[in-house]
Chain A
Amino acid sequence: AQSVTQLDSQVPVFEEAPVELRCNYSSSVSVYLFWYVQYPNQGLQLLLKYLSGSTLVKGINGFEAEFNKSQTSFHLRKPSVHISDTAEYFCAVSGGGTSYGKLTFGQGTILTVHP
């Protein structure tokens, strides 16, 4: 079975400050890791994904994430946030075995960027 824990339910931050949204996962098989963003009244959009290779993954809108296998983490970072980054962010894992193709999501982190 696979699971995802997002360690912060809400993260307030001021504009132009750096931010880190934390995500830990557990899985008994190799995994693929994702971060999605959800704006109000919309579906989820893919920010970035880790499939293999370099552990530092760059995504859209200036976000990046680092896969750390030993700590089973996939934290999302942005060096300088904008008001428009205010949204809910979801970490997700998919993998093989009996869970093939199924995305398991964390509970989400609401990022609020203040002026």
Chain B
Amino acid sequence: DARVTQTPRHKVTEMGQEVTMRCQPILGHNTVFWYRQTMMQGLELLAYFRNRAPLDDSGMPKDRFSAEMPDATLATLKIQPSEPRDSAVYFCVVGGITEAFFGQGTRLTVV
């Protein structure tokens, strides 16, 4: 959806490296979610923000994952250090209680 731009689209990295995924929501959507999709677990909510404030990151492994929203048009999800089990597609989603718009996702492969 044009409301959400995610970069990079694909990322291959070695175990132990830091990975940063970016999401640029169009102004006007004040809620940003990070979801992870895997074959085994389906779509899992990792964290979400409203008006740039973190509301819930209980789905995120705290020891290696961090999510921030430094301004209204940029959200980041970092993994440090990355592990093979982090291989998945990570989606940024913007919207609210009655609508949600997905980015194209970042396909992460950790080898």
Q: Determine the residue in chain A with the shortest Cβ distance to B102.
A: A43
Contact with A along B89-108 (1 / 0, CB 8 A): 00101011111111111010
Which residues of A sit under 8 angstroms from B107, Cβ to Cβ?
Answer: 41
Bound-state Cα–Cα, A32 to B31, Å: 17
Interface of B is mostly: strand
Bound-state Cα–Cα, A108 to B39, Å: 10
Chain A interfacial residues counted at CB < 8 A: 25
Q: Is the CB of A94 within 8 A of B42?
A: no
> Total A-B pairs in contact (CB under 8 Å)?
53
Chain B interfacial residues counted at CB < 8 A: 24
Closest Cβ–Cβ distance, residue A60 to chain B (whole Å): 13
Q: Is the CB of A105 within 8 A of B42?
A: yes
Q: Is the CB of B104 within 8 A of A94?
A: no
Closest Cβ–Cβ distance, residue B73 to chain A (whole Å): 19
B residues at A contact (CB < 8 Å): 1, 31, 33, 42-43, 45, 48, 50, 55-56, 91, 93, 95-105, 107
